[in-house]
Structure 1
């Protein structure tokens, strides 16, 4: 499994004045692009919704009459619909209808763990490491109730690591199951755990009030405000002052005298909220996640899924080559495709732009970045203009500015004029003036459009470029 590089042995703990929001909080539908796929009539009926997945491209919601629906990308069957087809139309989950949803957690395997208000637990999705808690390693495309060792227990909170699961009961007990290569189930060994078992050790006589999972670690807050952690610690995410793994629960000594109310985990970092409204953060910081203003964009978190034939449900055919993409993502991220894609589309033949341009555009939808030479960025700027992607236009202009040289300056200037990119046009013009002798000797200048040449000479004359 891929992990972020470990930091120094000494864990840096920072106090941040902010408000910690639970990762499992039911969300305001108006803030999430996935709901643009629903009609206004459907949106009016939503009483409760939980957006999940690696990039918020899956949603489970309940209506006013307790019907449960899912929508979005369906990686490894994480929608629970009985198949692996992504959907842009809401699909009903019959097995959960009539049950009031209390909480839901998503593991990046991917798998889903859900608890009802009655305390029942349902799981579905990927199960190669028994993270569904049903005693097998068989994947499940439908929600199935987990009952082993949870009979007569009311589950009030759930949490998922990448391939392990954890639940909290109303009497303050913690149960875990699934992948355990780093001790993340807290059993004291590294053997996988196929069914729920209570976490004891230091938690044996303590009442837990909150739980959370990182990718391969687990955490619990007890009623007196202490925090106990276990599992993988290569990035210092356990906050123990070292980077060694921890196979059983261990109290964070650095928080001595601080009363914690809630804990939340990222991929390899941790946040806790104290009773005084302060946040402590520790662990990996490669994306600035320990600072309040920096964040990893939603699109960047989808990067691994780009051009993946195993999960994609649509192919772009460009210049005889295929690019694998997700239809749902195109509809969420691009107004142009939202209006032209049909549910039965499997292959879309594109011919207006070149293969490098289309591939760069699709990669941009996944990563929010572009990687291509400035000459190809001209074509991408054309596409961005046509598709009305204003942010992409700005990125193209930045790429062109960074890649401009004497040989391509005239071509880039021509593109800026053509696409009415005034800031870029002025930049290219200034570059040409500052390198006028070399630029006027290039092939691009010799083949310059007559009207553009006349305007260039006129403007250059006005700024004194031809003075002796």
Structure 2
């Protein structure tokens, strides 16, 4: 996507936009923005309502101003509430908050607004507070944080959204333990006055306001402690997002579920009737890999494994009751062009660097290249590249195109171990930092990435493979991960197989595993207590 798709960034000079690597658009009208530069400096500009820019005063500014306390801290995520209050996570998992605080939603122990970011939960005179936080989520006047599988909450609690069992507000982070104390959480989300957590076993717990059925409990009664969303039995949820008063969930099989308010068709079920229990939607559109919503508006979006982006709900005054395909390439595009207000649902990475675009466009260009790669399965389809770019982008090629390697003077490299599709994807990744392959090819690309010590590509391949795991191939991928010591992928496959034990153990892929692998899997599974009667 282009940074200029967000109206507020059009006022910045091009040389400023070129340095932005991460940005967030917030506020009631999308009139405020915070961004991180390539030098890891953090800036804010816009109307600065309720000190939400964190620049040290309440003044509006067209000129970006530095947020000193966040500079050089590798800011990686931001969430904001309606007031607005803003919460951010730095690279080491420390949480900072600033802005409106009438309901103690900043977690500082007071109700005083702050015009500069402060550490959440820090004791008086101590730079302590929450650490190792991986996610934050803001409702209207309350906040959630996820740290090492534990959910913390603070702020307004008029509807039970803190999950403490009472309706008293909470001025500092408090661990949510009722009902979910024995489980580890993997995701969190907030609608305006409700809270949600996805547990590692795939269950969703919800608490807070329930006037539109958004807690998924089958009724409209508020809950002051977490309760399980019903109707998702035997479904393994991996992600949850919230709109103004509706909820979307994604399962490990790529299925979408929705519930809650539906005035604008934001549930995508073809009607405008609220739903108090999860209903599956878009079942005819294939497997989905990600979804998006934000409590500031009532639009929903999701992307399939084939890269098609769909949206529904309130889009620029239109009410769309079933998912429609868009021409966009990312979920961020939906919020930039169709949401009201036009705000980001996440911290958005961007690249406006002209040189980088030039490098990407030169891939497989026979006119400018000085080397070509020929694979064993496609000898008449060379892949055209540039030695200088490959040396910069990949340590393996940096060594290859130097003495005493034989390839230093060659202009044709024969590839014997990987097919055209895989090697083409690998070389394209070096130019574009983007990859898109089916699961089988992604496995081979993962092997290649490990062989060439390309860590970022390894992570991207693992992400692709996870999205393509199903009952038939999970055992094969698990065995592959074991053989190549891909620990992250191994653990993900193990969890998937554990959650679908009956179907997996009856699959052809499982039957093909060697005896020692099957025994090791069953022994590991037995330690979780899954075979208890």
- TM range, smaller chain: 0.5 to 0.7
Q: How many residues of Structure 1 are paired with residues of Structure 2 in the alignment? A: 274
For 2:168 and 2:186, how far apart are their aligned partners in 1?
27
Distance 1:97 1:300 in 2: 26
Which consecutive unaligned segments of at least 5 residues does structure 1 have? 1-26, 302-468
> Would you say the 8 A contact 1:95–1:143 is kept in 2?
yes
Equivalent position of 2:139 in the other structure: 161
Question: Is the 1:37–1:89 Cα contact (8 Å) retained in structure 2?
Answer: no
Conserved in 2, the CA contact under 8 Å of 1:217 and 1:229?
Answer: yes
Instruction: Give the secondary structure class of the aligned counterpart of 2:10.
Output: helix
Displacement after TM superposition at 1:164 (Å): 0.4
Contact 1:268 1:283 in 2 (8 A): yes
Residue 293 of structure 1, aligned match among 307, 312, 316: 312
Q: Does 1:269 align with 2:246?
A: yes
Counterpart in the other structure of 1:175: 152
Shift of 1:211: 0.3
1:34, 1:300 → 2: CA distance?
10
Shift in Å, 1:199: 0.4
Q: 1:207 aligns with which of 167, 178, 184?
A: 184
Q: Aligned in 2, Cα 1:253/1:231: closer, same or farther, shift over 3 Å?
A: same
TM-score by length of 2: 0.50
1:360-415 deviation per Cα after TM superposition (whole angstroms, max 9, x unaligned)? xxxxxxxxxxxxxxxxxxxxxxxxxxxxxxxxxxxxxxxxxxxxxxxxxxxxxxxx
User: Structure 2: which 5+ residue stretches go unaligned?
Assistant: 269-310, 317-339, 344-533
Q: Of the candidates 222, 228, 232, which is equivalent to residue 245 of structure 1?
A: 222
Partner of residue 233, structure 2: 256
Cα distance in 2 for residues equivalent to 1:57 and 1:29: 15
Correspondence list, 1:28-427, <5 A: 29-148=3-122, 151=129, 153-170=131-148, 172-291=149-268, 292-297=311-316, 298=340
CA distance in 2, matches of 1:52, 1:95: 20
CA distance in 2, matches of 1:271, 1:125: 28
How far off its partner does 1:294 sit?
3.2
1:57 CA drift (Å): 2.2
- Whole-Å Cα distance in 2 between the matches of residues 230 and 294 of structure 1? 24
SS at match of 1:35: helix
Between the aligned partners of 1:28 and 1:125, the Cα distance in structure 2 is 28
How many Å separate the matches in 2 of 1:232 and 1:83?
34
Greater relative contact order (CA < 8 Å, ≥ 6 in sequence): 1
Mark the structure with the bigger radius of gyration. 1
Scaled by the length of structure 1, what TM-score is found?
0.56
Provide the C-alpha distance between the structure 2 equivalents of 1:95 and 1:73, rounded to a whole number of angstroms: 20
Take 1:148 and 1:33, find their aligned partners in 2: how far apart are those partners?
36
Question: Offset at 1:210?
Answer: 0.4
Q: Is the CA contact 1:100–1:116 (under 8 Å) kept in the aligned structure 2?
A: yes
Q: CA deviation at 1:257?
A: 1.0
TM-superposed CA distance for 1:288, in Å, is 1.8
Q: Report Cα offsets for 1:410-450 as digits up to 9, x if no partner.
A: xxxxxxxxxxxxxxxxxxxxxxxxxxxxxxxxxxxxxxxxx
Provide the secondary structure at the position in 1 that maps to 2:135: strand
Question: d(CA) in 2 for partners of 1:152 and 1:128?
Answer: 21
CA distance in 1, matches of 2:3, 2:145: 26
